[in-house]
Chains A and B, each alone.
Chain A
Amino acid sequence: MKTVRITKLLMFMLLWQGVSYSQNSIDTIDFKAIEIVADRLPDAYKISQLDSTSIKQATNLSDLLNSSSTVFIKSYGSGSLASVSFRGTGASHTSVLWNGIAINSPMNGQVDFSLFPTAFIDGVELNYGASGLINGNGALGGSVNLQNNSQFNKGLQVGLTQSIGSFNNYTSSANIGFSNTKWTTTTKLYFKTNQNNFKYTNTALIDRPIVEQFSADLKQYGLQQEVFRKLKNGTLGLRVWYFNSDRNLPGNMLNYNKEESLKVSENQKDESYRAMLEWKGFANRIDYKLSSTVLADELIYENTISNIHSKSKTLTIDNKVSTKAYLNNNFTILNNLSIRFEQAESSGFNTIHSRFNNYWLFGITKRLMRLEATVFNRLTTVGDDFNGFSPSVGARYQLFKKEQLSIKANAAINYNYPTFNDLYWSVGGNEDLLPEKSEMLETGLSYTKKFKSTLISSELTSFYSHVYDWIIWMPNSTNIWSPSNLKQVENKGLEYSLTVKTKLNKIKISFNGNYSYTISTNLKAQNNNDKSVSKQLIYVPYHQLNYTLNLQVKNYLLSYNYNYTGLRYTSTDNNWYLPANFISNIALQKSINASNKTKLTVGLKVNNLLNQEYQAISWRAMPGRNYLFTFSYQFR
């Protein structure tokens, strides 16, 4: 009856408001560490770096995290909105950083991971739990740092890649780089179209027909340009990134309609401009990095059925100084200052809204024999709100002198400030919202062992967090959908990761597996009849497991990826659930060295090898077995 008060637009915005969850990964074969020392986090925290092989094999960030970490991806389908959450927290509790700068939308606090092709990313680092604190406020679950890597003195480098896949999926990308000892420039281009008209059994209809997915086509293109100059003690440069996406939004399986006229009704266009000026270096025992970043995003949502044409524009200007001073070999002082301006203009707001979101982070790291201890505090101002206490303490201790076996522990308090949608959405926005507060604890054990041609690396982590004043949208007493600090959530669990790299005769083997167990429960009741108390949050799987096995013989590389997502509840009383799903992907690739400077690679990837029918979100169709053929040319 009153549900009608929620306009379709608000519901569309609320899709983002979504739900939760957790964890982890590794570094494998030929990953070259990216040295941004001023940014690097102390060892007391859980950090994982995704390997470059996985990055190359995934098409976008959402696929990448899905296959090689247990961070939970909530995806509305191939090419559709995908949000990411760590350890039972919500999608707006994940900070997404581009070379250290948060790019989350000030409107909803989130990032759509389907809009980040891996072609634009050289490295991905995941920071779990308390480590996210160092990147600023908001990261109650963790953060994902997308890295670009500028290399000098490599001469001319050219790469061209063309993929052709099922459902008229065509992706072209190119990168052209040139560098000498003083200058480096890289240009990356990307273009993708995907009809996405896969066939599936529509179990939402009585006769269960095999139907074709409609209105899921998309077009994306983008450009990334970097120019860096080597200075005496560092580098100075500029990165520019443009991205454009235009997609139709498919309805759910129930909305499958035979009438042609109703097939395409929702469309979303996203456009992003990002520019970053960065100066970093090392002088007088100080590592420093200064950056100025401008982020401008536009989102146009159109719905022909409900006659909505909505436009949102956001602008973020971020200036950041990070320094790390080495007083001696055992004592470092970290100072980060960030001045950030956020602005948003939307059909959903009455006026343009803006605020400053600044922080100063101060910390020390001290090493004593095999113990490394860290203490931080962050002072934050968001709008008129000042918070002087967001601390974190952590320590790592190496148990034995000759074994890489360490124990870690850390604790932190972090805040997530209400987004512009939460505060100002008209109607419903609530300007009296408090920031969400999380108290976090983490302990871990990590072990790395190298013998002969084998490397084993393993990490076990347990985590706990208590989130207060969690913001949820619900109809208020006058039946208007409105956010309030109504929820209180407790998250706890375990994460385990194992990496093995070895050589058997002529076969290079690498294995990377991740497992997580998450209990995420609601602690607060709406009234006496509320059955959601002490129940698992919706869309937070208890179990997640994935592993990738790479076998390399000469120029052949065979990769097998297995991905298990345990059951997720879809109602807060845990009366409804989506069954667990098991997805396997396999890829075979061959490289041919045409000359000592040119390399050709051909690859075939089979996604959803066993043709599993599954739903990641209730009644959203997912593609069955599908193929991707890739051809690439590299010159260096």
Chain B
Amino acid sequence: MKNWIIILTLLILFSCKKDELGPQCISCPKGSITSQNADVLIINEGNFGWGNGSLSLYKPSLKAVTNQIYSSANSNTPLGDVVQSAYQYNSKIYVVANNSSKIEVLDQNNFKSLGSITGLNSPRFLLPINATKAYVSDLYANAIQVVNLISNTITTSIPTNGWTEQMILHKDTVYVGDMTNNNLLIINPNSNNLVDSVKVGIQPNSIVKDKNDKLWILCSGGINISNPQLIRFNPQNRTIEATYTFPNIGDSPGNLKINGNKDELYFINNNVYKMDITASSLPSTPFITNNNNTFYGLGINPFDNEIYVADAIDYVQSGIVFRYNASGVLQHQFNVGIIPGNFLFIN
């Protein structure tokens, strides 16, 4: 009997309290979490429902990356998932966490949380309109939420029908990709009224503006619904000026980006392609080939036109970022968080 008691006591002692709670990182390089001009913020989506979205900070001049900067700056708390996008505005960084239904508001210098905008449904992208007002597109809300950037609250919403994606502000007008109805929505940000909508291709997933004030809209074509299209849209007369159709219906291009001078387009279609805004047709050869990697996220550094491409590998491990110079030569590759999907170039 005595032996039993001893064994039992020993086993109970095994169970003394630990400090570790929740997911722990074995190797998350610790480094500077102070941002400077020209740093690159990598937005790692994380897995749906796993709470493992994160931010990585990369300093190109030092070739140094620090992962988990949000957690490090905020008492080891997780950022959320699926971390969709981030914006720098008013000395703050706004981070949109889709499945966590919130936008974290961070100090742009040290990434400390200044608050969060909650009560959102399934937010995708944020577009600041002015110092006090921003729009938030949403996957399921059937509305664009209007938020107050001072109080970090939702003030009103603009009804839409379905999934709204990327947004752009041009000459006091907001243009929104409507993924459900394949439209470009045109909104007056003063009245918050939908003023017009223009049919584009199937699933307009990304929008950029070039130096001639033309909008470029990349439509993925859905899942084998139609051939993908790249559309040049003139906001002045609200007409489509040019449509470039991809030859293969199975293609699924996305991540349309533009360089610092706003005269060269980049996008991912398995490989990275580059296209001059004056080109008469889609590029036929890749600018950067994927070499068996799965290119998932793309960013063009507006300061030096360097190209950042993210690979999520198996989507359950630290992703990898490839940094190429403006001519497409690999400069550096480094590991970041889980599912790197977006880049923010800090200025």
B338 within 8 A of A: yes
A153-B46 Cα distance, complex, nearest whole Å: 61
Would A15 and B317 count as touching, CB distance under 8 A?
no
Query: CA A54 – CA B75 in complex, angstroms?
Result: 42
List residues of chain A with CB within 8 A of the CB of B142.
307
A556 at the interface (CB under 8 A from B): no
Given contacts A1-B255, A306-B122, A529-B313, contact A204 B15 (CB under 8 A): no
B128 at the interface (CB under 8 A from A): no
Tell me the complex Cα distance, A612–B293, Å: 43
- Rounded to whole angstroms, the CA-CA distance of A612 and B201 in the bound complex is 54
Q: By CB atoms of chain B within 10 A, which of A204, A258, A509, A549 has the most?
A: A204
CA distance A504 to B2 in the complex (A): 12
Q: Is the CB of B23 within 8 A of A560?
A: no
B113 on the A face (CB < 8 A) = yes
Cβ of B62 under 8 Å from chain A: no
Whether, in the assembled complex, B178 has its beta carbon less than 8 Å from a beta carbon of chain A, the answer is no
For A538, the chain B residues whose CB sits under 8 A away are 316
How long is the Cα–Cα vector from A584 to B140 in the complex, in angstroms? Answer: 43
Residue of A nearest to B319 (CB): A529
A66 CA / B8 CA spacing, docked (Å): 19
Contact status A3-B78, CB under 8 Å:
no
Q: Which of A155-163, A312-320, A477-485 contacts B (4 or more CB under 8 A)?
A: A477-485
Q: Which residues of the partner chain B approach A504 to less than 8 Å between Cβ atoms?
A: 1
Which residues of A have CB within 8 Å of B252? 2, 478-480
Write out the residue numbers on chain A whose beta carbons fall within 8 Å of the beta carbon of B11: 547, 562
Chain A residue at minimal CB-CB distance from B165: A4
In the complex formed, the residue of B with least CB distance to A259 is B119
* Residues 61-113 of B at the A interface (beta carbon under 8 Å): 74-75, 77-78, 80-82, 84, 98-101, 113
Q: Which residues of A contact B270 (CB under 8 A)?
A: 477
Residue A571, interface by CB 8 Å? yes
Contact A530 B51 (CB under 8 A): no
User: Hey, which chain B residues are within 8 Å of A547, CB to CB?
Assistant: 11
The answer to the question of B6 belonging to the interface, with a C-beta cut-off of 8 Å to chain A, is no
Stretch at the interface among A223-231, A269-277, A613-621: A613-621
Which A residues touch B28, using CB under 8 A?
575
Is A571 touching B51 in the complex (CB atoms < 8 A)? Answer: no
How near does chain A come to B66, taking the closest CB pair, in angstroms?
Answer: 15
CB within 8 A of A529: which of B49, B121, B122, B293?
B293
Is the CB–CB distance between A204 and B77 below 8 Å?
A: yes
Measured CB to CB, the nearest residue on chain B to A507 is B1
CB distance from A535 to the nearest CB of B (A): 9
Cα(A110)–Cα(B119), bound, Å: 35
Which of these, B81, B296, B342, contacts A254 with CB under 8 Å?
B81
Q: What chain A residues lie within 8 Å of B75 (beta carbons)?
A: 206, 208
The reply on B274 being an interface residue by CB < 8 A is: no
In the complex, per-residue mask of B233-266: 1 if CB is within 8 Å of any chain A CB, else 0: 0000000000000000011101100000000000
When each residue 204-215 of chain A gets 1 if its CB lies under 8 Å from chain B and 0 otherwise, what string results? 111010000000
> A578 contacts the other chain (Cβ, under 8 Å)?
yes
Given known contacts A4-B98, A307-B140, A575 and B26 CB-to-CB distance under 8 angstroms: yes
Contacts of A262 in B (CB 8 A): 101, 119
Structural contact, A427 and B294, CB atoms closer than 8 A = no
Closest residue on chain A to residue B142 by CB atoms:
A307
Q: Which one, A257, A509, A577, contacts B24 given CB within 8 A?
A: A577
With a cutoff of 8 Å between Cβ atoms, the chain B residues found around residue A526 in the complex are 294, 313-314
The yes or no answer to A380 lying at the interface (CB within 8 A) is no
- B204: which A residues are within 8 A, CB to CB? none
Shortest distance from the beta carbon of B223 to any chain A beta carbon, whole Å = 5
Pick the contact of B49: A15, A507, A531 (CB < 8 A): A15
- Report the separation of the CA atoms of residues A382 and B43 in the bound assembly, to the nearest whole angstrom: 44
Q: How large is the interface on B (under 10, 10 to 19, 20 to 34, 35 or more residues)?
A: 35 or more
Q: In the docked arrangement, what's the CA distance between A624 and B14, Å?
A: 18
The number of chain A residues touching the other chain, given as a range, is 35 or more
Q: How far is the CB of B321 from chain A (nearest CB, A)?
A: 11
Task: Report chain A residues within 8 Å CB of B320.
Answer: 529
Q: Contacts A204-B78, A305-B140; is A619 near B22 (CB within 8 Å)?
A: yes
Name A255's closest neighbour in chain B (CB-CB).
B100
The B interface is mostly helix, strand or loop, or mixed, namely loop
Chain B residues in 8 Å Cβ range of A204: 22, 51, 77-78
Contacts of B313 in A (CB 8 A): 526-527, 529-532
Is A181 engaged at the interface, CB distance under 8 Å to the other chain? no
Complex interface: chain B residues within 8 A of A613 (CB) = 21
Contact, CB under 8 Å: A3 / B339: yes
Q: Is B200 an interface residue (CB 8 A)?
A: no
Could you tell me if B52 and A570 are in contact, using CB atoms closer than 8 angstroms? yes
Nearest-neighbor residue (CB-CB) of A615 within chain B: B22
Do A578 and B22 contact each other (CB < 8 Å), given the known contacts A252-B51, A618-B52?
Answer: yes
- Chain B 2-17 near chain A by CB (<8 Å), digits 1 or 0: 0010001001101101
Asked if A474 is at the interface of the complex by the 8 Å CB criterion, the answer is yes
Complex CA–CA separation, A185 to B55 (angstroms): 63
A564–B16 CA distance with the chains assembled, in angstroms:
12
B78 close to A254 (CB less than 8 A) = yes
Q: Is the CB of B317 within 8 A of A532?
A: yes
In the docked arrangement, what's the CA distance between A259 and B101, Å? 12
Query: How far, in Å, is B4 (CB) from chain A's closest CB?
Result: 7
Question: Chain A contacts of B26 at CB under 8 A?
Answer: 574-577
Known: A3-B48, A11-B48. A615 touches B21 (CB 8 A): yes
User: Which of B23, B122, B124 meets A576, CB within 8 Å?
Assistant: B23
- Of B1, B4, B78, the residue contacting A619 (CB under 8 A) is B78
Residues of B contacting A6 in the complex (Cβ-Cβ under 8 angstroms): 48
Q: Please provide the chain B residues from 303 to 330 with a CB less than 8 Å away from any CB of chain A in the complex.
A: 311-318, 320
A474 to B15, CA, bound (A): 38
* CB atoms of B314 and A474 under 8 A apart: yes
Establish whether residues B316 and A571, one from each chain, have CB atoms under 8 Å apart when the complex forms: yes
**Chain B nearest Cβ from A90, distance in angstroms:** 14
| Given A206-B113, A252-B49, A527-B313, residue A575 in contact with residue B122 (CB < 8 A) | no
Among A205, A258, A527, A562, find the residue whose CB has the most chain B CB atoms closer than 10 A. A527
Judged by a CB distance under 8 angstroms, whether A572 is at the interface is yes
Given contacts A3-B82, A254-B100, A579-B20, contact A618 B50 (CB under 8 A): yes
Docked-complex contact A4 and B124, CB < 8 angstroms: yes
Determine whether A176 belongs to the interface, using a CB cutoff of 8 Å to chain B.
no
Partner of B22, one of A307, A610, A612, A618: A618
Contact B15 A582 (CB under 8 A): yes
A579 lies within 8 A of B48 (CB): no
Q: A254-B81, A478-B250, A529-B320 are in contact. Are A614 and B21 (CB under 8 A)?
A: yes
- Which of A253, A538, A576, A584 gathers most chain B CB within 10 Å? A576
A570-B49 Cα distance, complex, nearest whole Å: 13
| CB <8 Å contact, A576 and B296 | no
Distance (whole angstroms) from the CB of B103 to the closest CB of chain A: 14
Near B by CB (< 8 A), chain A positions 295-317 give: 305-307
B314 and A530 form a contact (CB under 8 A): yes
Within 8 A of A (CB), among B22-58: 22-28, 45, 48-52
Q: List 6 A-B contacts (CB under 8 A).
A: A204-B51, A257-B101, A305-B122, A570-B50, A610-B12, A618-B23
A479-B252, A480-B252 given. 7 additional CB < 8 A pairs?
Answer: A306-B140, A307-B142, A509-B4, A527-B311, A549-B8, A578-B23, A579-B18
B binding-site residues for A, Cβ under 8 Å: 1, 4, 8, 11-12, 14-15, 17-18, 20-28, 45, 48-52, 74-75, 77-78, 80-82, 84, 98-101, 113, 118-119, 121-122, 124, 139-140, 142, 163, 205, 223, 250-252, 254-255, 270, 292-294, 296-297, 311-318, 320, 333, 338-339, 341-342
Shortest beta-carbon contacts, A-B, top 8? A582-B15, A573-B317, A619-B51, A579-B20, A478-B252, A306-B140, A572-B316, A572-B317
